[in-house]
Amino acid sequence: MKILLVYYTGTYHTRYLTDRLARAFVDRGNVVERVEIARGVAAVCTEGYDLVGFGYPIYGFNSPLPFNRYVARMRIVRGQKFFIYKDSGETFAINNASSRILLRRMRRRGARCVGEYHFVMPYNIHFAFDRDFVREILAKNEKLLRILLYDLDHGTGERIRSRLIYNIASALVSIQKVGGAVNSFLYRVDRNACTQCGKCIRNCPQQNISQKKGKIRFGHHCDMCMRCSFYCPHNAIHIGFLEGWKVNGDYHLARLAVEGAPDRPYITEDSRGFYRCFVRHFAKIDARHRELFGE
Ligand SMILES: Cc1cc2nc3c(=O)[nH]c(=O)nc-3n(C[C@H](O)[C@H](O)[C@H](O)COP(=O)(O)O)c2cc1C
């Protein structure tokens, strides 16, 4: 098969998943092409592809704005088969509604969804996940990836269903429509900490950061992807009203993946509070994996 992977990523978690997917598809003898959405990337047409995968991180219970805009510009062949791989830091049921805009656009263009998969990835905002938890997440993702590949081979994939109330809530929480533009007025750099290394300028997917007269400046077309502040080597970027939720520091996903799951499960039946939402999600992945592969 010839497969196209179209994805958006802020802090490269979705890129990590895309790497894993692409490698798995290639290992099975497929041809894979990929498009990482960023400012200035030309919209592609799906003609000639047997399958298209759409990948995105969930932002405020929605797909990111630049992702939606890019998909709107794509030319989609009628009857096009596609699947969705999305990721987020928690598995609250409202996240089930996050693909509603993508699904609506694809339905209008006569495309056919052959599966939707929700991968947990560590938060790049709110708070940093514990190392062992990340190891457990990555191990579960390998199982989900195997399930995804099985489904695509056997036509057993399904869309993640969402209740109407979550669709409405997800539409209401669509803060990113104005969030990035408003918040960008509040961004600033700690001049004592900043070494002007230029990493934020080079990496911004929107080319929204520049340097003028020795000062780092932020424009007003920010995606709120957090790449600049997450990877700033000196934690020098203040991100306005999200400052209290800033996460600074790479998780080194590839390295943690090699270590495998922790010896003792991080999420158990007794997990409480925020961690409770993962119990059912992980149990479902384990059960399906066991059903398909007996492990
Ligand atoms: C602006 C913003 C909003 C987010 N909203 C959510 C959310 O609603 N639910 C969630 O579980 N995670 C949320 N996250 C966390 C990301 O979905 C998660 O860390 C993801 O793995 C980031 O992927 P990326 O590195 O490819 O951008 C949000 C992150 C950002 C930056």
Question: What does the pLDDT look like over 12-59, one tens digit per residue?
Answer: 999 999 999 999 999 999 999 999 999 999 999 999 999 999 999 999
Closest ligand 1 atom, CA of 90? 11
- Rounded to whole angstroms, the Cα distance separating 292 from 109 reads 33
pLDDT tens for residues 130-147?
999 999 999 999 999 999
Q: For residue 180, what pLDDT is reported?
A: 82
pTM: 0.97
Give the relative orientation of helices 276-293 and 131-154 as an angle to the nearest 10 degrees.
40
Does residue 121 or residue 176 have the better pLDDT?
121
Q: Whose CA is nearest to atom 16 of ligand 1?
A: 88
Q: Whose CA is nearest to atom 4 of ligand 1?
A: 59
Q: Which CATH class is domain 180-245?
A: alpha beta
- Rounded to whole angstroms, the Cα distance separating 76 from 109 reads 7
DSSP 234: T
Closest ligand 1 atom, CA of 242? 1
Per-residue pLDDT, averaged over 99-117, amounts to 97
DSSP 125: B
Structure tokens at 63: 């797909």
Q: How many CB atoms lie under 10 A from the CB of residue 293?
A: 11
210's enclosing H/E stretch is: strand 209-212
Q: For residue 173, what pLDDT is reported?
A: 81
**Interacting residues of 244 by C-beta distance below 8 A, sequence separation 6+:** none
Q: For residue 295, what pLDDT is reported?
A: 80
Q: Where are the domains of the chain?
A: 2-172+252-293, 180-245
The yes-or-no verdict on residue 177 having pLDDT over 80 is no
Q: For residue 175, what pLDDT is reported?
A: 66
Per-residue pLDDT, averaged over 191-215, amounts to 95
Q: What φ, ψ does residue 87 adopt, rounded to 5°?
A: -140, 155
Specify the length of the chain in residues. Answer: 295
For ligand 1, residues with CB inside 6 Å are: 9-14, 57-61, 87-90, 95, 121, 123-125, 224-226
Distance 95 CA to ligand 1 centre (A): 11
Single-letter amino acid code for the residue at 85: Y
Single-letter amino acid code for the residue at 81: K
- Rounded to whole angstroms, the Cα distance separating 65 from 79 reads 25
The yes-or-no verdict on residue 179 having pLDDT over 90 is no
Q: For residue 3, what pLDDT is reported?
A: 98
Whether 180-245 and 2-172+252-293 are alike in CATH topology: the answer is: no
**Residue at token pair 């190392």:** 131
**Interacting residues of 74 by C-beta distance below 8 A, sequence separation 6+:** 6, 43, 44, 45, 46
Per-residue pLDDT, averaged over 242-271, amounts to 97
DSSP 2: E
- Rounded to whole angstroms, the Cα distance separating 198 from 228 reads 10
Q: For residue 176, what pLDDT is reported?
A: 67
Q: Which CATH class is domain 2-172+252-293?
A: alpha beta
- Inter-CA distances, 187 with 9, 100, 217, Å: 21, 31, 9
Distance 59 CA to ligand 1 centre (A): 5
pLDDT tens for residues 53-106?
999 999 999 999 999 999 999 999 999 999 999 999 999 999 999 999 999 999
Q: What angle do CA 33, 49, 206 make, to 5 degrees?
A: 45
